[in-house]
Chains A and B, each alone.
Chain A
Amino acid sequence: MKLNGGQALIKSLEMEGVEVMFGLPGGAILPVYDPIIDSPIRHILVRHEQGAGHMAEGYAHATGRPGVAMVTSGPGATNIVTPLADAMMDSIPIVVITGQVPSAAIGTDAFQECDIIGVTRSITKHNELITSAQDIPRVIHEAFHIATTGRPGPVLVDIPKDIVDPNNPNSAMDWYWPDSIDLPGYKPTVKGHPRMIREAAKLIAESRRPVIYAGGGILKARAAEALRELAELTGISVVTTLMARGAFPDSHPLCLGMPGMHGNYTAITSMQESDLLIALGSRFDDRVTGKVGAFAPGAKIIHVDVDPAELGKVRRPDVPIVGDCQSVIVELIREVRELGAQPDRAEWDAQLKAWQAQFPLHYDQGWGEGDALKPQFCIEQLRDGSPEDTIVVSGVGQHQMWSSQFWRFNHPYTWINSGGLGTMGFAVPAAIGAKVGMPGRTVWAIDGDGCFQMTAQELVTASAERIPVKVAILNNAYLGMVRQWQELFYEERYSEVYLSPDLPDYKMWAEAMGCVGMRVEHPDEVAPAIEKANAIDDRPVVIDFRVDWTEKVYPMVAAGTSNSNVILGPEMGQGGH
């Protein structure tokens, strides 16, 4: 069958099972947009290409299937650079297709030319310039394979216009679909080494103060069930990192919640005091470890990761295991069973419970005249007023930390955020992508006022495409997280962090974008507004929560200090008051 390159590209996406793609056309990618009219693939027209990238990420996070975005050359391509970097840091499988100027014009500073392959080399798992129409099915097939296997990540495919343009002879190709993959340099290890797994089981059996340090890799490997079985079998408590919230239910008695810079006291301290850390799909990020030299000084390390480059990168493991978390945990469970009973850890378990009782997360919502609305209260009300399996998507800042702390995540894939790159503006488009992938679920974006202003225009996309996401803006009139650092570490010299509570008018802005807009200023308005929002299913909703701008995120471990120095609240001094 003779096809042109543009048709071959769309047909290749169909062959990959793509149901939806996010994008925005332009000159260089125009020929590929033409066959979309005849394709069953749903295309969602974004208002900014960054939105397309984050939507693809949100879709991938929520569904586990690769997200797809397509943009034009030059500015279209550079606009999607941030989502590529974001997906690289958080190991999100997305495939991004960029138009490129015609082959003969590459390297001539042609109109809308950008060397996007060069630009994105270090922020993609792989990228490739297709040089012949005949290669399109093969390269697309490889792109999806690379994006979704091993440690997942973003793949960019750059396509010169001449090979997709039916008016150009370079676009002629004979259709085929490759039945295999030939990548001699790419063979991710799935199964862990049996001897290492046995070693790990032995360390577990000897350990008196073990902690499972679960990371985003659990979710990537779809290993939440296996993790739960391992925890219950061994009786070992689990911390879930920012990327792993929901991988182990917060309601489970063995769940210690989030560790790290703004983790809870027990999660942080359990790791510090442990004699064995069982790191499963986690990468010893600096936001988790604090000062590396002082991190978990007495702990032996079992480190399981599908990416060999993670083992020993930050902390040398006693037992390194390269492999997929799902497969390794299943094998580990078998070995643990074979070794028989676990030692008595009653003392350690009692210590964990004591810390939990002594140092819970806390905030005070006052109900008196003039008492400001607390952001944490809004989150708790949202949590209690929304369905149990609601998907929560956050931006980056204080609201993100509070969301992770105060929501109760009891199901995997219900928490979507930008962890590694910390991309402000992630929430709205990622929520749209998640809702497209999971239309039956309630999706709440919990966003900051600063973040919202970076990508709010995608609510126009959501209205036009009838994607009824809900957005809670925790409007503290500040770039709050930065303000918090200035307050604590820069002598309250507030440089360029004030935003204003009512410029823009978020309610009017929401309405202008086709959404229902609401404003909430008092604690007793919170629950009714949420109830109203949750009842709306035909358009997006935005609630502007006017929250206390003085509120800070605690606990906190100051950057670069030891995790043994947890600042619990302003009462502990350290600049707070």
Chain B
Amino acid sequence: MAAPRHHILSVLVENKAGVLARVSSLFARRGFNIYSLAVAPTDDDRFSRITIVVDVESTPLEQVTKQLFKLINVVKISELDPASAVEREMMILTVKAEPGTRGQVIELVDVFQGRIVDVGHDELTIELAGPPSKLDDFEDLMRAYGIVALQRTGRVALPKLERTAHGLPKSGMRPLGKVG
């Protein structure tokens, strides 16, 4: 069996009660675990965008996306190819920072271009945004100092812009339109 890989779905939905439950239950029904999920209203507040990252084979995913389309409140679905998408995520974490290690932690925050947003007696709370892999790396490094609490937002994504000869950006998002 081929290794499952990340798929990023960008789902435009009506901004209504219960829509998230409808969307997520289509994954749950098949036992697909949602790896990360981010929801917020778009610039048009009648609509929200749900960014879903799932690890599944392409074929069953195609069936799920077709069924997502059938939800009355789903307006549009696009699949983003991770290779041609800009993915970003944000994390805040509280880490142990006793006098002996505080300097090292601050140095790493600096290297990762994070920000210290709260300072306690022997702990720091740090904010870091960026590609998910960068957050993973930072999390690994902080583990040595003792992570007290950590929260990640789940990723949001947009297609990378291609430049045509005329310099006009062309969307790399693959709209999953109707078949036929």
Residues of chain A whose beta carbon lies under 8 Å from any beta carbon of chain B:
117-118, 121-122, 125-126, 129, 131, 146, 183-186, 189, 192-193, 196, 307-309, 311-313, 320-323
Contacts and interface: CB of A to CB of B under 8 A. Distances in A.
Contacts of A117: 18
Most buried by B among A183, A185, A307: A185
Contact of A146 (B18, B66, B72, B179): B72
B179 A121 contact: no
Interface string B42-82: 00001100000000000000110011011111111000000
B133 interface: no
6 contacts: A129-B17, A129-B18, A131-B17, A183-B72, A185-B73, A323-B180
A309 B21 contact: no
A121 B72 CA distance: 12
Contacts of B76: 185
B25 A309 contact: no
Contact of B178 (A121, A129, A322): A322
Given A122-B25, A185-B13, A311 B180 contact: yes
B166 interface: no
A308 B75 contact: no
A467 to B, nearest CB: 34
Given A121-B25, A309-B63, A309-B67, A193 B72 contact: no
Contacts of A322: 178-180
Most buried by B among A131, A309, A322, A323: A309
A305 to B, nearest CB: 9
Interface string B12-51: 0110011001100100010000000000000000110000
Contacts of A307: 70
B69 to A, nearest CB: 7
Contacts of B73: 185
Nearest to A311: B179
Nearest to B22: A121
Contacts of B47: 184
Nearest to A118: B21
A192 B179 CA distance: 10
Given A184-B14, A312-B62, 19 more contacts: A117-B18, A121-B18, A121-B22, A122-B25, A125-B70, A125-B72, A126-B72, A129-B18, A184-B46, A184-B47, A185-B73, A185-B75, A192-B180, A309-B67, A309-B69, A312-B179, A313-B66, A322-B180, A323-B180
A193 B22 CA distance: 30
Contacts of A183: 72
Interface in B60-106: 62-63, 66-67, 69-76
B68 to A, nearest CB: 9
Contacts of B29: 122
A266 to B, nearest CB: 31
A125 B22 CA distance: 11
A186 B74 CA distance: 8
A186 B68 CA distance: 12
A123 to B, nearest CB: 11
Contact of B179 (A126, A184, A185, A308): A308
A189 B178 CA distance: 9
Contact of A185 (B25, B67, B72): B72
Nearest to B21: A121
A320 B179 contact: yes
Contact of A309 (B17, B66, B74): B66
Contact of B180 (A121, A129, A184, A193): A193
A196 B180 CA distance: 7
A320 B66 CA distance: 14
Nearest to A146: B72
Contacts of A185: 13-14, 71-76
Given A146-B72, A186-B72, A321 B180 contact: yes
A158 to B, nearest CB: 11
Most buried by B among A117, A146, A184, A189: A184
Contacts of A196: 180
Contact of A313 (B13, B17, B63, B74): B63
B33 to A, nearest CB: 18
Nearest to B65: A309
Nearest to B66: A309
A160 to B, nearest CB: 13
B48 to A, nearest CB: 12
Contacts of A125: 70, 72
A185 B22 CA distance: 14
Contacts of B25: 121-122
Interface in B135-180: 178-180
Nearest to B180: A322
Contacts of A146: 72
A308 B66 contact: yes
B75 A309 contact: no
A322 B75 CA distance: 18
A323 B179 CA distance: 10
